[in-house]
């Protein structure tokens, strides 16, 4: 790939230092993705600038006008703290006829809305757990086909926000308490979902019109006590010491035969198409003991740090980190946005 002008768009608090020296693991985890991406771009010989965006687009527009980057590497997931505005940032880049990496605005909007995405998946014939939404200020009311145990999530936020062992509820008292917490502490509608007891599988998808499904990865719960639900709580996802102490982490999914892998890949790509995704995404599954496969959700623009599941599954497919970044750049520069017409 020729030398490019790459503008890396990120949150001001996540601008990484030039070196890891003297930084704790907790500090590094805050900006690990940004550090890895900037390092890979610079090592590849690209001309790189950082654009920190918080609550104004003026710094971004100034760089677009004056520097004219070939591509914006998008590492932003919010605007002024509002996750729902993520799609608006990318839409702004499209209005400026600016190529960018990652998912398009429509795919972001559809997949970040967990209720709408489940409706779209269901309409495409893709199995997803039964659900109901309780808006803020209302008490939960369950339809006849939704039975305990249930899991209570945010209807909009990701990164396991608000997910804990107490999120899995077994009766109406627990349900009401958890829904109230989501409303009052996290300020969001509560998604009440059928709890699927089974294996948690991830499939990364990379590309545009002809996407590549990466090897199937599994969140393995190691020595987590049997009394605890096998769910990706915030602690399980982000507490490195806790992960190491119990042997928890995403790894190649063992014991799947070729037919199962083909089926999982087929459903992952069907979900990608149903939600109009592009660039990159991770499709999250539950595989029940009876073989029934459920799509939990799609995560556009997932974590692409070197040590996380998307990059490690890509490496298992023969795509090292430098090649992964190159493919993301290429996907961003070739995505057929409406302005190209």
pLDDT in tens, 214-235: 999 999 999 999 999 999 998 9
- In terms of domains, do 149 and 91 share one? no
Same-domain status, 203 and 313: yes
- Spatial contact of 258 and 235, defined as CB atoms under 8 Å apart: no
Q: Could you report the per-residue pLDDT of 66-79, keeping only the tens digit for each?
A: 999 999 999 999 99
231-252 confidence digits (pLDDT tens) = 999 899 889 999 999 999 999 9
| Same domain? 157 vs 228 | no
Do 313 and 204 fall into the same domain? yes
In a domain, 115, yes or no: yes
SS (H, E, C) the chain: CCCCEEEEEECHHHCCCCCCCCCCHHHHHHHHHHHHHHHHHHHCCCEEEEEECCCCCHHHHHHHHHCCCCEEEECCCCECCEHHHHHHHHHHHHHCCCCECCCCHHHHHHHHCHHHHHHHHHHCCCCCCCEEEECCCCCCCCCCCCCCCEEEEECCCCCCCCCCHHHEECCHHHHHHHHHHHHHCCCCCEEEEECCCEEEEEEEEEECCCCEECCCEEEECCCCCCCCCCCCCHHHHHCHHHHHHHCCEEEECCCCCHHHHHHHHHHHHHHHHHCCCCEEEEEEEEEECCCCEEEEEEEECCCCCCCCHHHHHHHHCCCCHHHHHHHHHHHHHHCCCHHHC
Report the share of the chain in percent with pLDDT over 90.
93
Query: Do residue 223 and residue 80 come from a single domain?
Result: no
Residues 249 and 140 in one domain: no
Measured CA to CA, the distance from residue 197 to residue 94 in angstroms comes to 41
Q: Are residues 21 and 92 in the same domain?
A: yes
Q: What is the pLDDT of residue 157?
A: 74
Q: How many domains does the chain have?
A: 3
Same domain, 313 and 288: yes
Is 141 within a domain? yes
Average model confidence (pLDDT) across the chain: 95
Structural domain range at position 150: 131-194
Instruction: Kindly report the pTM of this predicted structure.
Output: 0.95
Summarize pLDDT for 133-169 with one digit per residue, the tens: 999 989 999 999 999 999 999 987 765 678 999 999 9
Mean pLDDT of 243-263: 97
Please indicate, yes or no, whether residues 148 and 94 belong to a single structural domain of this protein: no
Domain final residue, candidates 174, 194, 214? 194
In a domain, 317, yes or no: yes
Residue 340 located in a structural domain: no
Q: Are residues 27 and 161 in the same domain?
A: no
pLDDT digits (tens, 9 = 90+) for 108-137: 999 999 999 999 999 999 999 999 999 998
- The CATH number linked to 270 is 3.30.470.20
Mean pLDDT of 292-321: 97
Task: Give a yes or no: residue 339 inside a domain.
Answer: no
Do residue 163 and residue 271 come from a single domain?
A: no
Verify that 223 and 330 share a domain, yes or no: yes
What CATH number corresponds to the domain at position 23? 3.40.50.20
In this prediction, residue 83 carries a pLDDT of: 87
In a domain, 256, yes or no: yes
pLDDT at residue number 159 = 55
Q: What local confidence, expressed as pLDDT, does residue 156 receive? A: 79
Does residue 341 lie within any of the structural domains? no
């Amino acid at each position: 790939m020729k030398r490019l002008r790459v503008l890396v768009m990120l949150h001001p608090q996540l601008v990484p230092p030039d070196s890891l020296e003297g930084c704790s693991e907790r500090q590094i985890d805050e900006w690990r993705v940004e550090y890895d991406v900037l390092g890979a771009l610079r090592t590849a010989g690209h001309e790189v600038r950082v654009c920190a965006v918080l609550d104004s687009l003026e710094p971004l527009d100034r760089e677009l006008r004056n520097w004219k980057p070939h591509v914006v590497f998008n590492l932003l997931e919010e605007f002024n703290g509002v996750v729902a505005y993520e799609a608006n940032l990318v839409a702004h880049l499209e209005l400026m006829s600016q190529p960018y990496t990652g998912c398009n605005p429509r795919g972001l909007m559809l997949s970040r809305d967990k209720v709408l995405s489940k409706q779209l998946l269901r309409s495409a014939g893709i199995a997803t757990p039964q659900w109901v939404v309780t808006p803020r200020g209302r008490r939960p009311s369950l339809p006849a086909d939704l039975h305990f145990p249930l899991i209570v999530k945010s209807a909009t936020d990701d990164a396991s926000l608000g997910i804990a062992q107490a999120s899995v509820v077994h009766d109406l008292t627990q349900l009401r308490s958890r829904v109230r917490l989501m409303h009052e502490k996290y300020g969001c509608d509560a998604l009440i979902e059928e709890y699927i007891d089974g294996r948690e599988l991830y499939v990364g998808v990379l590309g545009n019109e002809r996407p590549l499904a990466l090897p199937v990865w599994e969140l393995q719960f190691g020595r987590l006590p049997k009394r605890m639900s096998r769910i990706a709580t915030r602690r399980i996802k982000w507490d490195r010491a806790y992960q190491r102490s119990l042997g928890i982490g995403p790894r190649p999914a063992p014991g799947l035969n070729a037919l199962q892998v083909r089926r999982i890949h087929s459903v992952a790509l069907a979900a990608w198409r149903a939600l109009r995704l592009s660039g990159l995404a991770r499709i999250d599954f539950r595989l029940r003991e009876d073989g029934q496969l459920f799509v939990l959700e799609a995560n556009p623009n997932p974590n692409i740090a070197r040590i996380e599941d998307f990059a490690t599954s890509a490496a298992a497919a023969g795509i090292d980190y430098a090649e992964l970044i190159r493919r993301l750049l290429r996907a961003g520069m070739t995505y057929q946005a409406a302005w190209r017409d």
